[in-house]
Amino acid sequence: MNSPPASPGDTIKSEPDYGDYIDDLDLNVAECEYRDLYTAPDGSYLPITIGELLNGRYLVEHKLSWSGRYTLWLARDLDNDRFVTLKVFVDGDHGQHELCIAGRIRKRCNKPASRAALALPCDRFIWSPSGVAGVDHAILVLPPMGPNLDDSLDTCLKKSLQQRMSAAKQLLVALKGLHEMRIVHGDLNPEAVTWNVSPILKTTRDQFYHLVGRPRKVYLEPSSNNHYKEGDLVEPIAFPPDIVEGTIRLGNFHSSIQAGEPVANTAEQEFQYCAPERMHNVQPSFASDMWSFTYLFAQLYADDGEPLFGGRGPGHIGSMICHLGQFPKEWRGQYVGACCDFDGFYGKHDGIGQAQDWWYKDDLDPYRLDFEPHLNTPLEDALERRKPDITWGEMQLMLSILRKGFHYDPKKRITAAHLLANPDFKTLMDMYGV
């Protein structure tokens, strides 16, 4: 078992109960891989210790989640006696862009309800190791968050379809508000959407641990790879379903842009949720956000929580084409690849393969359809796989919504405002009391 020294340097000693140190073998596979991001020679994560006090006021209580660019921690703001989320970026990503976007949103958003649906940072500070030049970690302070949709698949599926459709509608309303402020989200995916967990907000530490469980952690020894700073490798909170509310927040604005602002890599988004035109050198837009929303909407609707189109990498593109048809021939020669997130980093690989001729109109060999009939699979089949008990009437409503959101032409893709007012969408929401 890896245990810390008797007196960890940055831990508050007057509050000894900060979870339990466990044996390495008790960690799940994901956390073992996560540890590599701290200990590899090129590791750039900031080790954090449960009970550590950051910036003189934020007491770290537990870990929420992690991704290729940051770790998320639930902390107590001692100055205001409230929970906050700390978003700790990898070395070199200063979080300035996300803070700048948040500032624009605050200036333009005069509706408290709209702002409440967005997880906007309220503060930012920098952690730098003493005596180590050129290393700094930006830390954003955000509202307290629950699990994101990706982390909470089991919790999400335990919610009724009515609750999941309510979350989808809330997300659409938040996206509409963002677009009215002329902001393109740019990376809408399950990690960007979090459930609210207000039952924890007024708890003491003992009450908090009683609700979510004590932190399980492995001690990380200081080394040259982690700025000679000790830390804890902590399993994320497993929120019980009964404290996960039915309301959500939209966050992760690290890729958000002012509408019309160009980006260097148009395809820099989690692969499965990336609009196909962005893979063909078209800039992010309100329309590409709506493609991502439609894909996430279909996932929330599914009984199994699985994405509508199967496959990873080229297999995903193939599945998309099989259900929606070939890409426009005008896209030929414009394919720039697609960023993947297999290892937690967008763009870590050099794109997903090469474009195939059969992806584009006028080039599908007719004999291919004879031998591979699945290449022309109705969208209905994908829906029936994800929701076997769907009725004919509900199927027609869903098909109408999906086809409007999955239009290959961004100019013809439905907007957030129009979808909220769309009769078929409203009928579907009415069916579930949303």
**CB contact at 8 A, 144 and 208:** no
Residue 9's alpha-carbon distances to 306, 363, 366, in angstroms, are: 44, 65, 69
pLDDT at 196: 93
Helices (H), 213-351: 286-301, 314-324
Query: Per-residue pLDDT tens for 383-418?
Result: 999 999 999 999 999 999 999 999 999 999 999 999
Give CA–CA dist 394/392, Å, rounded: 6
Type of residue at 167 = A
pLDDT for 430 beyond 60:
yes
pLDDT at 79: 95
pLDDT at 6: 42
**CB contact at 8 A, 90 and 70:** yes
Lowest mean pLDDT among 178-192, 315-329, 386-400: 315-329
301 Cβ neighbours under 8 A, 6+ residues apart: 161, 164, 165, 168, 386, 387, 398
- pLDDT interval class at 372 (50, 70, 90): low
Percent of the residues in the chain that have a pLDDT greater than 70, as a whole number: 80
- Single out the residue of 77, 250, 123 nearest to residue 177, CA to CA: 250
pLDDT at 362: 76
Give CA–CA dist 168/124, Å, rounded: 30
In the predicted model, what is the mean pLDDT of residues 364-387?
69
**CB contact at 8 A, 212 and 240:** yes
pLDDT for 13 beyond 60:
no
In the predicted model, what is the mean pLDDT of residues 296-314?
85
N residues, the chain: 434
- pLDDT interval class at 348 (50, 70, 90): very low
3-state secondary structure of 139: strand
Per-position DSSP letters for 114-132, written without gaps between them: HHHTB----EEEEE--TT-
- pLDDT interval class at 154 (50, 70, 90): low
pLDDT for 14 beyond 50:
no
125 Cβ neighbours under 8 A, 6+ residues apart: 54, 55, 138, 139, 141
pLDDT for 344 beyond 50:
no
Phi-psi region of 281 (alpha: psi -120 to 50; beta: other; left: phi over 0): left
**CB contact at 8 A, 235 and 27:** yes
As given in the structure block, the two tokens for residue 125 are: 């500070």
Pairwise pLDDT comparison (95 vs 281), residue with the higher score:
281
For tokens 């000679």, the residue is 228
- Single out the residue of 247, 124, 104 nearest to residue 184, CA to CA: 104
Query: Per-residue pLDDT tens for 207-265?
Result: 999 999 999 988 888 776 666 678 888 988 988 888 888 899 999 999 999 999 999 99
**CB contact at 8 A, 89 and 262:** no
pLDDT for 26 beyond 80:
no
Q: Which domains does the chain have, with CATH numbers?
A: 20-146+197-248 (3.30.200.20), 262-431 (1.10.510.10)
pLDDT at 15: 47
Give CA–CA dist 161/183, Å, rounded: 30
Give CA–CA dist 350/107, Å, rounded: 38
Per-position DSSP letters for 20-82, written without gaps between them: EE--GGGS-HHHHHHHHHHHSTT--PPP--TTBEETTTEEEEEEEEE-SSEEEEEEEETTTTE
